[in-house]
Amino acid sequence: MILNFINGQYRQGRGGRSFSDMNPVDGSLIAQVSEATREDVDDAVNAARDALAGPWGALKLSQRCDLLYAVAAEIDRRAEDFVAAEVADTGKPRSLASHLDIPRGAANFRVFADAVRNVATETFTSHAPDGEPTLNYALRRPKGVVAVICPWNLPLLLMTWKVGPALACGNTVVVKPSEETPATAALLGEVMNSVGIPKGVYNVVHGFGPESAGEFLTTHPGVDAITFTGETRTGAAIIRASAAGIKPVSMELGGKNPAVVFDDADLDATIAGLTRSVFENSGQVCLGTERVYVQRRIFDAVVQRLASAAARLRPGRPEDPATTLGPLISAEHQRKVLDYFALAKAEGATAVCGGGVPDVSHELKAGAWVEPTVWTGVAHESRVAREEIFGPCCAVIPFETEAEALRMANDTPYGLAASVYTSDVARAHRFAGALRVGVVWVNSWFVRDLRTPFGGSGASGIGREGGVHSLEFYTELSNVCIKFNGEAQ
């Protein structure tokens, strides 16, 4: 049984209800998960408020940051436990979890402990109307209790991306992980206890969205701020819920991210980058590429080479070193993606590769598998070119001129990320600056410096996190103005 973690203790929900955590690799049961009631969420928020006013709030900045470094070290020490939990929940290849998800989960605590120690606030000297000198400086104060609502695609990484800076800034948190991936958020409670994080600082409640833990948490009057990563529709519901309490929100939402390939690009590097951005984590990455615009002269070559790379991906059990493609997160998500595959065919697309369910071994037949898929013949205006699918698929669409590529890349309600492939430095700067997205990679993908701003525009979200931008969201700034009266003696 995976339990809620409230005030430093694991406990079942008061209602006695549970739900199943299923393995997407083969459809087997991993564990039952205890569902939190409204009263359990009350307890978690109250514990967080008590810790804020008590032992956590009383710590010096250096003590708090040292504890977060200890959390990171303990995640590293228990990396195998976290990898096993993450792989069981998501079905992703073990190599991906061990090289990306879990190390980044630990790094998020170190990076933001360092940031809050070293990023200064503004200081100004000036004069009052009577001519006396003044000094203005800003203080950072924690927002309070932060509700952290997490997605299922990179569970530990994206949860600690929020919990790390929230705790570094002196807040306390109540985490609601996805019902699809509850294990690593719960396991982190053991780490918090083992390194001496005070009770109530880190809490976890399990459940769903409407009329469950998600709604109970985001509408709770004791919550001071909400941070969410997930689909746009859910984000809109959370924003509506936050309005009643005038609560600040940070929203990292969906995307329909473009990659633009010019005919002077290094094709080897381009195909390597596209193979990752389209198919990594079975396309279940908010930053992933679903629209690939290729200049006409090299269109056929890119299509052929990308399709060949997709065909070489091998589905299988996550612990098999030969596995390079995992399943989707659930049977429900598999049905959604397969519906888009059928829609693409109905809209006139040609599946150069994929387009269905892969031939997997008998024991994996009940898993949530889909084939990596590359389409041509997709109209830019079609649904499969405009709606987020969140699977291992992309539409490859030709263009003639830079202006045409820019128009199509920006023609979307989303604005999260983009990639540009070109050997022309001037064009790279010019084109990247004209894209209406939060993150642009040139000749690369998913290269992250955690000090940089991260987030989207339009339907892709509100706000930025990362580096000082996380500190701005997770703290309130207070200005202190001191007037120096009298003359020096």
- Taking a C-beta distance cutoff of 8 angstroms, is the pair 280, 96 a contact? yes
Half-sphere exposure of 135 (CA within 13 A, CB side): 4
Q: Which of 263, 257, 337, 341 is nearest to 292 (CA)?
A: 257
What is the C-alpha separation between 61 and 118, in angstroms, rounded? 11
b (16+ CB within 10 A) / e for 10-24: beebbeeebbebbbb
Task: Indicate which residue of 35, 179, 180, 252 is catalytic.
Answer: 252
- Answer whether 6's CB lies under 8 Å from 173's CB: no
Which residues share a beta bridge with 125? 135
Rounded to whole angstroms, the Cα distance separating 155 from 175 reads 11
**Please, are residues 325 and 373 in contact by the beta-carbon 8 Å criterion?**
no
Q: How far apart, in whole angstroms, are the C-alpha atoms of residue 171 and residue 404? A: 47
Report whether 456 contacts 252 (CB < 8 A).
yes
Quick count: other Cβ atoms within 10 Å of Cβ 4? 28
Q: For residue 237, what is the enclosing H or E element?
A: helix 232-243
Cβ-in-10-Å burial (0-12, 13-18, 19+) of 312 comes to exposed
Residue among 370, 274, 373, 359 at smallest CA distance from 329: 370
Annotate 54-108 with DSSP letters as a single string.
THHHHS-HHHHHHHHHHHHHHHHHTHHHHHHHHHHHH---HHHIIIIIHHHHHHH
Query: Could you tell me where the beta strands, DSSP code E, fall in 220-325?
Result: 225-229, 249-252, 257-261, 289-295
Whether residue 280 lies in the annotated active site: no
> Looking at the annotation, which residues are catalytic?
252
